[in-house]
Structure 1
Amino acid sequence: MMNENIEDINYKEVIEYSLEPLIVHSQLKIIYINKAAEVFFRASREEVIGQSPLVIFKDTSKPAITKRISGAYNKPAEIIEETVYRMDGTSVDVELYCHPIKIGNIKAIQTYVRDLTEKKQLEKIQGEINNKINELTATIVPLLGGIAVLPLSGAIDQDRATKLLQLVPENVKKHKVSKLIIDCSGIHKIDALVTDYLFRINNVLNLLGVQTIITGLRPQLAINVVELGINLEGIITFSSVMDALRFSGVEYTIK
């Protein structure tokens, strides 16, 4: 095994061949960019070197960036997200991290630029998927005589619970529901958040003149109700949807 002295490593080669754009600047003047930075900023290093690092930022961001740069000569700055401009005028969201370095006796700053375009696109797609899931979550199934079932399943977080509170009353009015059976048997975990929103939905529907029946309750729900101090008086519960339908005067024959 080779035992090379780490001091023999050519760090200029290390940053030159880095896949992430790297910029070195001192006294508000860019003195070096690597190949990845040339590709990212869509300009040759000859076009970039000598310019101020502030040129890539929006005017509204420049005062804060100037302050950030002045502090980075002494210690690494925190990672931030910013919108920057390439040399062709196109904008892109990036993550920036910079830290102090020394080039001989000159104090300088090395800045890493990470393109967030793909990350932002994935977040947007995931957000659209979550919105669609939330909408489907609040889909009610109309049955007979103004009776409908709202089957809940999977995990319910704050966003999904908020969407339920928003969309269920709208869907109830849309389908002219007078009695809604909320079935909780498919929920993975019934915690304080779920319990709170179930009873918020119940209260809103009561104000709309809709009777709510909750089915599929588990022992943990009763514990959470007590812990939250929620009054169960007036709330009808059954162990299954079938029991709730029988109570409502609807009989289904399973063939």
Structure 2
Amino acid sequence: MDVNISKIDYRQIMEFSLDPLIIHTDLKIIDINHAAEKFFRAKKESIIGASPLDIFQETAKIAIEKRIQSAYLQPAKVIEETIYRMDGTTVDVELYCHPVQIGDTTAIQTYVKDITDRKKTEKKQVEIIKQINELSATIVPLSNEIAVLPLVGAIDEDRARMLLEVLPNKVQQQNVKYLIIDFSSIYKIDHMVTDYLFKIHNIMSLLGVRSIITGIRPELALIAINIDNRLTSTSTMATVKDALYSLGMNFKY
């Protein structure tokens, strides 16, 4: 059976869309669907004729206007923005717009997707990761002046930066004079890790804290030296026990 595509009712397609849709041209809204009415908490009559820029914060309007103009030529990339509803409340959304032909008029169709729940989930995940990282930066006191920082797993840039930020306060709060940084459970070393390692060592020195690195396996040691030969000047020992012996802590069996 032949189907005449030109007979498809585009307005009906719009209304059945679950996502809010806005049709606008020359910075004037000419149509919205029912989902958009619900989302923006306003009747269609009060929205049609308004500028699509009205929903954006002042700081974003210039960039959004440029984006709309470029969308007449080709679909714009999906972006995230915080926009206003008609009642003044704000909401985080994904926006996607593309050109659409309505009779002789070229307009822009903008899809609006509420990502509030996703943003909340992402924020929770960031908080969880932050808490895990803070726990992984726990300094374990072994005596009045000696403590060990056991590092576990992989160190990415965020975790390395966090170590650099929190360690100075922690060693001062605990009156640490000797800090053993144990890498025996770290399975990957790259340029970023060695760079932060060197920075941590220098900051400890400025604070009057002697840092000793332990637990770097031979294969990782070779990688680390090839990446940054500054580490040759850093105090290192095979194990935490060796470091403790060097600091005068003897063990009886």
Q: Deviations over 1:149-177 (max 9, x none)?
A: 10001221111111112221221111111
What is the CA-CA distance between 1:26 and the residue it aligns to?
A: 2.3
Residue 86 of structure 2 corresponds to residue 87 of structure 1: yes
- Counterpart-to-counterpart distance in 2, 1:149 and 1:185: 12
SS at match of 2:185: strand
Q: Counterparts of 1:96-175 in structure 2 under 5 Å?
A: 96-175=95-174
Gaps of 5+ in 1: none
- Counterpart-to-counterpart distance in 1, 2:83 and 2:145: 56
Residue 71 of structure 2 corresponds to residue 54 of structure 1: no
What is the CA-CA distance between 1:67 and the residue it aligns to?
A: 3.5
Residue 207 of structure 2 corresponds to residue 233 of structure 1: no
- Counterpart-to-counterpart distance in 1, 2:2 and 2:152: 59
- Counterpart-to-counterpart distance in 1, 2:107 and 2:171: 64
Q: Confirm or deny: 8 A CA contact 2:189 2:223 kept in the other structure.
A: no
SS at match of 2:30: strand
Q: Residue 233 of structure 1 aligns to which amino acid in structure 2?
A: S
Q: Deviations over 1:26-70 (max 9, x none)?
A: 233322212221121011223322333232223443344333333
SS at match of 1:92: strand
Taking a change above 3 Å as real, the CA distance of residues 202 and 58 of structure 1, as seen in their structure-2 partners, is closer
- Counterpart-to-counterpart distance in 1, 2:87 and 2:145: 61
What is the CA-CA distance between 1:130 and the residue it aligns to?
A: 2.8
SS at match of 2:94: strand
RMSD of equivalent CA atoms: 2.4
- Counterpart-to-counterpart distance in 1, 2:180 and 2:9: 70
Q: Deviations over 1:60-113 (max 9, x none)?
A: 433443333333223223333333211111122322221111112122110111
* Matched length: 251
What is the CA-CA distance between 1:121 and the residue it aligns to?
A: 1.9
Q: Residue 93 of structure 1 aligns to which amino acid in structure 2?
A: D
Q: Find the counterpart in structure 2 of residue 22 from structure 1.
A: 21
What is the CA-CA distance between 1:181 and the residue it aligns to?
A: 1.1
Q: Find the counterpart in structure 2 of residue 191 from structure 1.
A: 190
SS at match of 1:182: strand
Taking a change above 3 Å as real, the CA distance of residues 9 and 250 of structure 1, as seen in their structure-2 partners, is farther
Q: Confirm or deny: 8 A CA contact 2:190 2:227 kept in the other structure.
A: no
- Counterpart-to-counterpart distance in 2, 1:73 and 1:149: 61
What is the CA-CA distance between 1:186 and the residue it aligns to?
A: 1.4
Higher helix content, 1 or 2? 2
| Percent of aligned positions that are identical | 54
Q: Give the TM-score taking structure 2 as reference length.
A: 0.87
Taking a change above 3 Å as real, the CA distance of residues 64 and 249 of structure 1, as seen in their structure-2 partners, is closer
